Amino acid sequence: MLDKSLPYIDFFMKRKKGAEAPVYNLPDAYKFVLFKSGDEKSWAEIETSVLEFDSETEAVEYFKNNFLPSVTEPEKRILFIETNDGEKVATATAALCPCENKTPWIHWVSVKPKHQGIGLGKALISKVTHMLLELDGDCDFYLHTQTWSHRAVRIYKKFGFEIIKDQQICHSKTNNGDYEQAVSILNNL
């Protein structure tokens, strides 16, 4: 869940070509599944549970109007973790920026709070990293995050992601990115 007790500073992280891509497996009660039509409701439930949106209705609208249209091949790129009972509890996307360079990105990484702390985040980042490597080759790729996601930042670092100073990559910009302040906050946790 987002830690909104910290100042909000968004920033980019970059995984350089050739960086290590460790493998973390899911616990036995979970499996990976790819997006299919109708999964926007599950995506909205997950993202609302981690406080990215105030309501599931708002999240579904965002998904339909902003996110889904920007994802090429959603059935190959939007990943979920599902329980053996069929509940989708985590998501991440192996996206491509719509810019000329088609830069690979990891987007919208979230795990429902009651399923956090058991290794799902590591397994999710492992799987989506390997998806990007398979789909787009071993190249530099990025993610956009914030100080409120400091627990996830520690996971991203295990996969070679480092905070970078850039405030714009492709069509994405940081809103109030301040590299030095973000690094200071994260180093003091």
Q: What CATH number has the domain bearing residue 46?
A: 3.40.630.30
pLDDT of residue 171: 63
In a domain? residue 86: yes
In a domain? residue 87: yes
CB atoms within 10 A of CB 13: 20
In a domain? residue 180: yes
Write the DSSP assignment of 16-57 as a string of letters.
-TT------PPPTTEEEEE--TTTHHHHHHHHHHTTSSS-HH
Domain that holds residue 49: 10-187
Report the chain's mean pLDDT, rounded to a whole number.
92
In a domain? residue 73: yes
- Binned at pLDDT 50, 70 and 90, residue 2 comes out as confident
pLDDT in tens, 145-172: 999 999 999 999 999 999 998 777 776 7
In a domain? residue 4: no
In a domain? residue 2: no
What is the mean predicted confidence (pLDDT) over 52-81? Answer: 95
Three-class secondary structure of residue 120 per DSSP: helix
- pTM confidence score: 0.91
Residue 87's contacts (CB-CB under 8 Å, 6 or more residues apart) are none
In a domain? residue 3: no
In a domain? residue 1: no
Residue 26 pLDDT > 80:
yes
Domains held by the chain: number: 1
E-strand spans in 42-148? 78-83, 88-96, 104-111, 141-146
pLDDT in tens, 86-131: 999 999 999 987 766 788 999 999 999 999 999 999 999 999 999 9
pLDDT of residue 100: 64
pLDDT of residue 99: 65
